[in-house]
Structure 1
Amino acid sequence: MDTHVPPIAAAAPDRARALQPLLDAHGPEMDRRREVTPEVVEALVRADMLRLLLPRSLGGQEIHLVEYAKTIEALGYADASVGWFINQSNVSSSTSAAAMPAETARSMWGAPNMGLAWGARHSRSTAIKVDGGYRLTGTWSFASGGRHTTWLGAHSATQNPDGTPLMRYGKPDDRSFVFRRSEAKIVDDWQVLGLRGTGSDSYTVEDLFVPDERAPARDALQERREKGPLYVIGSTLLYATGFSSVTLGVARRLFDAYVELARGKHSRASPNAMAINNAVQREVGQFEARLSAARAFIHEAALEAYEAAAAGKLTVDHRIKLRLATTHGMNEATDVSVGCYRAAGTTAIMNSAPFERRFRDAMSASQHLQAMMPHIEMVGRHIIGVDNPIQHI
């Protein structure tokens, strides 16, 4: 029996932490291959990491949002690409399943190895409504983990056969289309700075028929079949909670490496050991405070949003707070990651040291939409009370 795979009865964060030795061992190889290794994929499936958010009615775990954040953070601590892949797949599959007919969703994700990868939203695709479904054409990028999933997905606005926008629920209809990876043309273009192991390739479909039951409006209240709090909160903030937790895990790993280095290293710029340098001591304390505060804010906001959603009382204020916590957390984690890398001096640039690869991962994660400052500006407008079209919450 693989000792790296904990029993399913263990809590999800504990199962994630138990995978760390395996992820540590395979990290450099996943970075080199630009994909998760088969051994790690197998271990993730055996630990049931692809169904953390899937509805219980479909055989999933549907865990609490704070427990989910801790699980993704633990995976990110071990390997950022794995944490990123698991978050992307969980949110994509669970929110899609929650808006699909139950039997369709069960047939797609009932098994523990059926993940879903998803490319970024854009406005250059077409989804023409036809009898029984849609004819989908487009190219999407950033399908994190898509080399290991059975299913791919893509967002697209929909059109009538004459090309005019299809209207539904009083606005232009936007759908999430799910199809087999084998039905798409995959482009191996993931040549990047960090998060290399996600294998986030681009993919194309041309005039692909996608049936109605696999084309949910996953965040539309009118189509949400599952009523649990996770699905009320919706995909955007679930993604944000997971991705911010990945960055916290990476930053914590870099911080731990910095502390370990400081305990035994003499800086060339100082005759004293790092451990007795007042500036190092102060910096370590400040980094600990920043990471702990950011983490606590995310968990507090996630708890409040989850409990409000469970009680049927989720408000814009709850959503705004979680948006602020996750965006702030990603930026705090980025700053701490940079600080730890710089503090490590020349040690940090060595492949043999624990800094270089994780620093690249941290920098790549920092460029994601979820970390962008316009989110903070939106929160500020909400607090002030000025006209504020609410987006991305």
Structure 2
Amino acid sequence: MTTTRTVLHGDLVAAARELQPLLRDNAAVGEAAGRLTEPVVDALHDAGLFGMWVPAPLGGAELDPVSSLEVVQSLAEADPSAAWVLMAAALATGTGGAYLGDEAVAAMFTGSRFPVVAGQGTRPGRAVRDGDGYRLSGSWSFASGIKHAQWIHTLGIVEETGEPLIFVLPVEQAELVDNWDVMGLRATGSIDYTIEDVHVPAAFTHPGPTETPLRGGDLFRLGIMHFALAGHSGWALGVSRRMLDDLAALVRAKAGRPGTMADNPHFQAVYGEAEARWHAARAFVHETWRGASGTILSGTPLDVRQKTLLRLALYNATWAAEEISVAVYRAGGTTALRAGTIQQYFRDMHAGTQHVTSAPGVIEACGRHLGGLAPGHDWLYMNLVPPKG
């Protein structure tokens, strides 16, 4: 098997920062087109960022969670859609490399570039056993980055057993529905797709909640959901950081004129409070991920409290970022109303709050566990569930 290029941790963190000017320059064009521009996709490939979470035996970085936060934050500071596509594709590509069978990996991980895998890992389709595999049917939404992908990663429930499986199949075997007409995150191209009675070999499937890799190191004991939590946490921090920085630059540019925000004590207090929210959210995210990383990389699984705190840190970061976006939009006045970065980031942030990882049920479940009201429960995706039996 011909493997893709090898990438290193430090290369990826630095590369994400170096790509910021390119991403900023292409953001408006991507929004108008409903997909990332080819220069952006090529640059993400050339930097090896699609291999961020690919197992090392396949040439990937197996990037640790704390460094991953930095990568996604840096990309989101430059273009929220590019960061969103990268984190979604890196998750599906990397976990596919870790959990799929050898036949699938041999087919996917060839050539000079990492494959791009995209799709929907929450709402399930239907699968029935068929010989050496399954026949899969269903309709899914929010396939971020699928316009740049060669493979689809999608959740289905096996009718005979009720088992949730991730199915990976070529994009050509699905019908793409180009219906991404949305308020924010326009350049993610997160369109719908349907699959009708397609045979998927067993090697191209893996259990949805698995935390047991077939290749790669202890990083992959996180399981799919925890990679998603890291990505979304970095994204929320990056979006809100850019909004704060752009507002400060806007106010400084007008300093010295009569009646400007720069001399307004109320604005100064609002800005100070927003900075406090951001730094507190970032500290919580990084603290929880440093602890989780130490646990996983020692070969020990995360306990329920750690899983709860990771979800709580993301929830807090997302809604702190939403509060910051509202404060920035209000302080930005007519500049925020017009086409430009503040308007785009305000829209993108409010699109991001609609994701399942920050839904009301998450904070309720976190409260149940931390309050000692759910003894014996554990997390299944974003749901706190009682023990079986």
TM-score normalised by structure 2 residue count? 0.91
CA distance in 1 between partners of 2:139 and 2:75 (Å): 30
Residue in 1 aligned with 2:118? Answer: 117
Residue 310 of structure 1: how far off its partner (Å)? 1.6
CA distance in 2 between partners of 1:326 and 1:214 (Å): 31
Residue in 1 aligned with 2:76? Answer: 76
Contact 2:9 2:67 in 1 (8 A): no
Q: Aligned pair 1:179/2:158, yes or no?
A: no
Structure 2 unaligned segments of length 5 or more: list them: 1-6, 383-389
Alignment RMSD (CA, Å): 2.0
CA distance in 2 between partners of 1:266 and 1:52 (Å): 42
Aligned counterparts, 1:159-174, within 5 A:
159=159, 165-166=160-161, 172-174=162-164
SS of alignment partner, residue 243 of structure 1: helix
Contact 2:73 2:234 in 1 (8 A): yes
Contact 1:229 1:307 in 2 (8 A): no
Equivalent residue letter for 1:299? H
CA distance in 2 between partners of 1:93 and 1:113 (Å): 8
Aligned counterparts, 1:1-393, within 5 A:
10-102=10-102, 104-111=104-111, 112-123=113-124, 125-159=125-159, 165-166=160-161, 172-221=162-211, 224-226=213-215, 228-265=217-254, 271-313=258-300, 314-351=302-339, 353-387=340-374, 389-391=377-379, 392-393=381-382
SS of alignment partner, residue 50 of structure 1: helix
Deviation by residue 1:217-250 (Cα, 9 ceiling, x = unmatched):
14325x5324633211111121121012112111
Residue 201 of structure 1: how far off its partner (Å)? 1.0
Larger mean Cα displacement after TM superposition, 96-105 or 331-340: 96-105
Contact 2:9 2:61 in 1 (8 A): no
Contact 1:229 1:306 in 2 (8 A): no
Residue 260 of structure 1: how far off its partner (Å)? 0.8
Contact 1:233 1:306 in 2 (8 A): no
Change (3 A) 1:110 1:54: farther
Residue 121 of structure 1: how far off its partner (Å)? 2.2
CA distance in 2 between partners of 1:110 and 1:339 (Å): 47
Query: How many residue pairs were aligned?
Result: 372
Contact 1:96 1:218 in 2 (8 A): no
Residue 120 of structure 1: how far off its partner (Å)? 4.7
Deviation above 6 Å: which 4+ runs of structure 1? none
Deviation by residue 1:181-227 (Cα, 9 ceiling, x = unmatched):
11111110110000000001111111101000001114325x53246
Residue 48 of structure 1: how far off its partner (Å)? 0.8
SS of alignment partner, residue 193 of structure 2: strand
How high is the sequence identity, in percent, across the aligned residues?
33
CA distance in 2 between partners of 1:230 and 1:369 (Å): 23
CA distance in 1 between partners of 2:305 and 2:126 (Å): 35
Residue 97 of structure 1: how far off its partner (Å)? 2.1
Contact 2:84 2:188 in 1 (8 A): yes
SS of alignment partner, residue 252 of structure 1: helix
Structure 1 unaligned segments of length 5 or more: list them: 1-6, 160-164, 167-171
